[in-house]
Chains A and B, each alone.
Chain A
Amino acid sequence: MEWDWDFVRQILPTLIEGVKITILATLLGSVLAAIVGLGIALARRSPNRALSRTVGFLAEFIRGTPLLVQLYFIFYVLPDFGILLPPLVAGVIGLGLHYGTYTAEVYRAGIDNVPRGQWEAAKACNLNATQTWTHIIIPQAIPPMIPALANYFIAMFKETPLLSAITVLELMNQAKSVANTYYRYIEPITLVGAFFLAISLFSVVLLRWLEHRYGRIER
């Protein structure tokens, strides 16, 4: 079997459509994971035992089960309970929830890293709990954890082919469909790898920059 550049040119537009969906799913999934993670981290610190325990258990449960199973559940099982989601929405929710349980750990570490004196100074300044979190703790906790968060977002990006299992027309799914149409696998699958590699390399450069920019906070 030989590499066929004409075939490459022919399927490239379709694959680029897939790349767009892959990137979109990663971006939306990252935003959701960032929010869900923060929510989990805050809930686990709540003085309300019932809340912190429940959220802790759910997070442990999600982290302990495969993303693929969760995607199937969201897309194929939830409709039985009357919740019918479009594939991309289901995929983004799956990615966001799954990775949210990991980013929660990053937040936890980031929050723990803020010295106790900051909490005490906030109290001495008579800030209430919300003001302490939004003005003092979160702004100090987040910059040092940006590299770790970005790491998870890159990992998430490389897991997006799983979304093909729930019919999202992302890069892998597009490649499979052209391959199945023309019975040629070498070009589409190689291109999928090339796209992922290119974007990952670009992301790593971005990550290095983020590490340099936010990696440490001066005290």
Chain B
Amino acid sequence: MSAPIIKIDGISKSFGTFKVLDGLSMQVMPGEKLALIGPSGSGKTTILRILMTLERIDSGHIQVDGEQLYHMERNGRLLTADERHLAKMRQKIGMVFQLFNLFPHKCVIDNVTLAPMLTKGVPRAAAEKRAMELLDMVGMVDKAKAMPAQLSGGQKQRVAIARALALSPKIMLFDEVTSALDPELVDEVLNVMRKLAAETDMTMLLVTHEMGFAHDFADRVLFFDRGRIVEEGKPDEIFRHPKQERTQGFLKKIIAAGHRV
């Protein structure tokens, strides 16, 4: 058995007096598709944001791909990571956001080529060739020259996925990527993610309220509440036979709210 690609060890995080994560530990295996579910404020999005280094942790350790994320080893001592170390670690991780966050002043293909050209020094021609392959995969080739404002939400999110893939991360983080979409646009984004899961061996962490998709997509589901993992298991176990009362209550509420399971 190979080593975990993400190893979270006793991390805590507070916003002011609100403790979002409380001594959380978890591991993710390479290539694993993990769904994080739970009520809002349960800390699931915070985990993704911490892995992307958008939030710092208050305490604990995170190992990504065999290296400390927020610490670096120097002469056998563990120091707080500097910006250079963080930049190196960020190369391993890509993120897709709930609100897409495309760069509105750049056309679709420039959104995809920007990071490889700037951070890896990829020449424009090579970056554009790769960008077109990625846009083809997400079905957005014919919009390569369009501006983000001309796209629907679903199209924007597909471009955002291509942009994140352009840096060839080992780990992809999807933060409620369909929550801001009109219902009829949700499937086009989910289809792209299914395809991505089928065609690559990337590790994928997914925060979602699409329980049906989480069920089909994930190898393992973690149910979060109040900064802790309440229950985890195979999708069937969690969705069909939840053991914990809180998991049962949450799923009941979600179904009542009209989400598909």
Write the residues of chain A forming the contact surface with B, with a CB cutoff of 8 angstroms: 115, 117-118, 120-121, 123-129, 131, 135-136, 139-140, 217-219
Contacts and interface: CB of A to CB of B under 8 A. Distances in A.
- For chain B, the bracket of interface size reads 20 to 34
Interface of B: 52-54, 83, 87, 90-91, 93-95, 97, 99, 101-105, 114-115, 118-119, 147-149, 163-164, 167
A128 B90 CA distance: 11
15 contacts: A115-B101, A121-B101, A121-B102, A123-B54, A124-B52, A125-B167, A126-B87, A126-B119, A128-B119, A129-B83, A131-B118, A131-B119, A135-B114, A140-B105, A219-B104
B119 A127 contact: yes
Contact of B97 (A121, A218, A219): A121
A interface majority secondary structure: helix
B211 to A, nearest CB: 26
Contact of A124 (B94, B99, B104): B94
A219 B119 contact: no
A63 B97 CA distance: 41
A218 B90 contact: no
A120 B54 contact: yes
Given A117-B97, A135-B114, A123 B53 contact: yes
B90 A136 contact: no
Contacts of B91: 126
A213 B179 CA distance: 33
A50 to B, nearest CB: 20
A217 B102 CA distance: 13
Contacts of B95: 124
Nearest to A131: B118
A217 B105 contact: yes
* CB-based closest 9 A-B pairs: A218-B149, A121-B101, A125-B115, A117-B101, A124-B95, A126-B90, A126-B119, A219-B104, A139-B105
B58 to A, nearest CB: 19
A69 to B, nearest CB: 41
A125 B105 contact: no
Given A120-B101, A123-B52, A123-B54, 4 more contacts: A121-B103, A123-B53, A124-B164, A127-B119
Contacts of B148: 219
B146 to A, nearest CB: 12
B103 A118 contact: yes
A75 B6 CA distance: 64
Nearest to B92: A126
Nearest to A117: B101
A217 B105 CA distance: 8
Contacts of B54: 120, 123-124
B112 to A, nearest CB: 10
Contacts of B83: 128-129
Contacts of B115: 125-127
Nearest to B96: A124
Contacts of A124: 52, 54, 90, 93-95, 97, 101, 164
A128 B115 CA distance: 10
Contacts of A127: 114-115, 118-119
A126 B118 CA distance: 9
Contacts of B103: 118, 121, 135-136, 140
A127 B83 CA distance: 11
Given A118-B103, A123-B53, A128 B114 contact: no
A141 to B, nearest CB: 10
A217 B104 contact: yes
